[in-house]
């Protein structure tokens, strides 16, 4: 069922610049919204906080070296770390929220690359939010998948 949510029919609903931006490190791929102000970030800007790497298998079948930025570092670099809650929105409208307490419980990784390459829409990209330390438990069905999100298009804080 989750695979159906990310069918190619949903991709045209994404922001117009995103379809053209695949593979262009300076093209906007993520909207950041705080209050009434919004701006966009490119892959290069997102990765400025430094990449972490982890070998894992994603519940949707992707497997390999996932690279990305530590979520807390990313939020701090963008002035969102003190927000009461942060909302993550996917291209298909799926949303999940994280509070500071929830972020302290687990180490979230905002994935920007798979096996060294930017993640395309056919791989649920351009961005994903995952918890690498829970990957095996999620695959086994002993940990929830509700905080994982892929095809991430917006991060919003209040």
pLDDT tens per residue, range 106-129: 999 999 999 999 999 999 999 999
pLDDT average per 10 residues of sequence, the chain (158 residues):
34 37 78 93 96 94 95 96 95 95 95 96 94 93 90 94
Write down the pLDDT at residue 22.
Answer: 53
Domain that holds residue 151: 2-157
For the whole model, what pTM was predicted? 0.82
Write phi, then psi, for 101 (nearest 5 degrees). Answer: -65, -40
**CA–CA dist 142, 158 (Å, integer):** 31
**Structural domain total, the chain:** 1
CATH of the domain at 82: 3.90.420.10
């Amino acid at each position: 069922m989750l695979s159906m949510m990310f069918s190619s029919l949903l991709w045209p609903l994404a922001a117009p610049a995103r379809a053209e931006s695949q593979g262009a490190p300076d093209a906007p791929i993520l909207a950041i919204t705080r209050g009434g102000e919004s701006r966009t970030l490119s892959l290069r800007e997102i990765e400025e906080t430094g990449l972490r790497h982890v070998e894992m298998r994603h519940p949707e079948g992707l497997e390999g070296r996932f690279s990305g930025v530590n979520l807390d570092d990313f939020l701090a670099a963008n002035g969102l770390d003190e927000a009461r809650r942060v909302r993550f929105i996917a291209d298909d409208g799926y949303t999940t929220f994280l509070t500071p307490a929830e972020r302290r419980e687990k180490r979230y990784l905002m994935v920007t690359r798979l096996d060294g390459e930017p993640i395309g829409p056919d791989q649920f990209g351009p961005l994903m939010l995952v918890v690498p330390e829970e990957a095996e438990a999620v695959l086994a069905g002993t940990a929830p998948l509700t905080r994982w999100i892929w095809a991430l298009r917006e991060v919003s804080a209040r």
